[in-house]
Structure 1
Amino acid sequence: MATAWPTIGNHPVPANNTTSLPAPGGNPMNTGAAQPPARAATSLNSTEVSFNPQNQSNPYYLHINENPALELVPFPMDGSNYHTWARAMTMALSCKNKTAFINGAIRKPPEDDLERYMAWERCNNIVASWIIRSLSPTIGRSVLWIDTAHGIWNDLKRRFSKQDLFRIAEIKCEIYQIKQGDNSLNEYFTKQKLMWDELSILRPMVYCDCAVKCNCGKKIDDLNEQLEMDKLSIFLIGLHERYTWARNQIMLLRPLPEVNEAY
């Protein structure tokens, strides 16, 4: 097989370093051997998932029990719970080894590649069916005619993640208003943790990537440490009065514990 010549920019250079000089008439005069045809570019992107539907670790593989009627999450997405739903759905699809069909790692193959196209269409429709079954009827009908699972996923993200600004404000209000009351300590702590976890998804913590800690990185660390102290103080303030003594003892500790340790 002929070896492809190295290139400089977009111009092929013969491997034997033979130079082609222009002839007086303007036509190039080849002093070396005839140039072989350029090697055809590979049709598959090197970053795409390999095609092996018989391998159980391959996203194209479908188990006999995987069918469109499966319900992967225990609650429907109605628009107000998008982030919770998206997290649960991503975990479920990961267990099925099908996240490549929603994150763009697998693209629609050309129809002339019949075997690959048929396998892709089958898996794509399965994943799309799982997503639609996990939506409320109204939202499900609104994405029914989108051809790909990746397109459905992106459409839902564009429509429902835009409410982040208002949801962040709602979460902050809920965090400050939650009190233990007659709930058990476990129930109270779990409610607060759910709120903080959702807030961390909508507004992730910032970290410094510098190899040597810079001044800005130290300030970021201070802000993150203050956030952890806020979690602790809000948790302690909301405790039932029967925990007053324990709360006072925790506040005297130096350094202060994280909220998980305090719980």
Structure 2
Amino acid sequence: MATGSRFSFADMQNPLFFHPSDGPTSICVPKLQGASNYRAWHRSMEIQLASKRKLGFVDGSVKKSAIDATEAAQWETCNNMIISWLHSNITDAVKRSVLFINLASEVWKQLEKRFMLTNGSRKYKLNKYLFSLKQNELSVADYYTSMSSLWKKIESMKVLPTVSTVNEEITALLKAIETIKEEVRLFQFLNDFNEVYGAQRIELLMLSPLPTVEVACAAFQQEESQREALNVSAETEVAAMYSLGYVEKRTGTPCTACGVKGHLSSKCWTIHGYPKWHYKHNRNNSKANGSGKKWSGDKIKMVNAAQSSGGEQGVVFSLQQLQQFLAMMPGTVS
């Protein structure tokens, strides 16, 4: 098959070919522990075996020659090497159960029968993880990776019939099914994002047709990068109030300081000043109390106390009334 130290392309395409560097430890993946990591292990081993053109030995497509003794001997060598690869990538406890099986394909089938779980409890567990997944402190990339991993695990457990004849109607049906699945994934992805991304979520849902999950992820990552560059996420409370004001501006009791619904006067930016990233920061902070000077801490405390006590008695002072009241009090700075 080879001359000297050089191998022809035809030699390397032959599944019976072994490179001189191949050995029992040439393939290394995380070891098979049991049913919990079987699917990930199975996929990793498939990739490794296919890269060496040895996948046919475990799926049974490469048969031992019955007429050529040389090829039969080479097949035995390949079979034993693949068994050694399988043994080196499973735990000792699992290896003991397949140690005396002489065919790589039989070892592969035995592990599949033992650990390939597709029962309802496994599906339920994965779907439960998916429905409870929230972004919280995760970055956009980490959140997408976690959700995408669950999608792929759940999808791999679905067994669909094979379509032998493909026509235009079948193609259109498959395309429609894929579109529905993509929409479901998009809604799951958008649903559990933090509220600070509420504006971006609304913009994406208004698009027609709806974007793919990958497009939505890219849009959120861009917004995340801009927020990090502008230090928008430095104060979670401020970002949450900003988002709440956007989403709930038509609900709740109006702020007594600015008249906008969705937040209390104790957190109103017109009193405390706008954050640095806000476009009104330099223009309006010096006019927060309408007099060209920032309110003192004592005045703010008095405003909050008056409004909270007034709310208990059913009486609420307006901002102008409180300003006039404080201006008449001795020892206060207006």
Q: TM-score, normalised by structure 2?
A: 0.57
Matches within 5 A, 1:85-234: 85-110=41-66, 113-203=68-158, 209-213=165-169, 221-234=175-188
Distance in 2 separating the partners of 1:224 and 1:247: 22
Q: 1:248 aligns with which of 202, 210, 224?
A: 202
Contact 1:75–1:134 under 8 Å retained in 2: yes
How many positions carry a matched residue from both structures? 208
Contact 1:205–1:224 under 8 Å retained in 2: no
Distance in 2 separating the partners of 1:207 and 1:57: 29
Per-residue deviation at 1:177?
Answer: 1.1
Equivalent position amino acid for 1:107 in 2:
K
Seen in structure 2, the aligned counterparts of structure 1 residues 210 and 114 have a Cα distance that, compared at 3 Å, is closer
Distance in 2 separating the partners of 1:85 and 1:78: 10
In terms of mean alpha carbon deviation, does 75-84 or 189-198 score higher?
Answer: 75-84
Unaligned stretches of 5+ residues in structure 2: 1-7, 218-334
Equivalent position amino acid for 2:188 in 1:
I
Q: TM-score, normalised by structure 1?
A: 0.71
Instruction: State the Cα deviation string for residues 153-173 of structure 1 (Å, max 9, x = none).
Output: 111111211335432222211
Instruction: State the Cα deviation string for residues 27-70 of structure 1 (Å, max 9, x = none).
Output: xxxxxxxxxxxxxxxxxxxxxxxxx9x81211111111111133
**Does residue 257 of structure 1 match 2:200?**
no
- Match of 2:90, SS? coil
Q: Which residue of 2 aligns with 1:55?
A: 11
Per-residue deviation at 1:199?
Answer: 1.8
Matches within 5 A, 1:68-87: 68-87=24-43
Q: Which has the larger radius of gyration?
A: 2
Equivalent position amino acid for 1:213 in 2:
E
Contact 1:206–1:220 under 8 Å retained in 2: no
Per-residue deviation at 1:89?
Answer: 0.5
- Match of 2:26, SS? coil
Per-residue deviation at 1:181?
Answer: 1.0
Q: Percent identity?
A: 27
Contact 2:57–2:79 under 8 Å retained in 1: yes
Distance in 1 separating the partners of 2:31 and 2:141: 23
Seen in structure 2, the aligned counterparts of structure 1 residues 260 and 205 have a Cα distance that, compared at 3 Å, is farther
Unaligned stretches of 5+ residues in structure 1: 1-51
Distance in 2 separating the partners of 1:155 and 1:207: 24
Per-residue deviation at 1:125?
Answer: 0.7
Per-residue deviation at 1:88?
Answer: 0.8
- Match of 2:124, SS? helix
Q: Which residue of 1 aligns with 2:271?
A: none
Contact 1:77–1:134 under 8 Å retained in 2: no
Per-residue deviation at 1:72?
Answer: 2.6
Seen in structure 2, the aligned counterparts of structure 1 residues 90 and 113 have a Cα distance that, compared at 3 Å, is same
Per-residue deviation at 1:190?
Answer: 0.4
- Match of 1:81, SS? helix
Q: Which has the higher contact order (CA 8 A, sep 6+)?
A: 1
Contact 2:26–2:85 under 8 Å retained in 1: yes
Per-residue deviation at 1:224?
Answer: 3.3
Q: Which residue of 2 aligns with 1:40?
A: none
In terms of mean alpha carbon deviation, does 148-157 or 221-230 score higher?
Answer: 221-230
Equivalent position amino acid for 1:79 in 2:
A
- Match of 1:181, SS? coil
Seen in structure 2, the aligned counterparts of structure 1 residues 62 and 219 have a Cα distance that, compared at 3 Å, is closer
Equivalent position amino acid for 1:226 in 2:
I
- Match of 1:61, SS? coil
- Match of 1:85, SS? helix
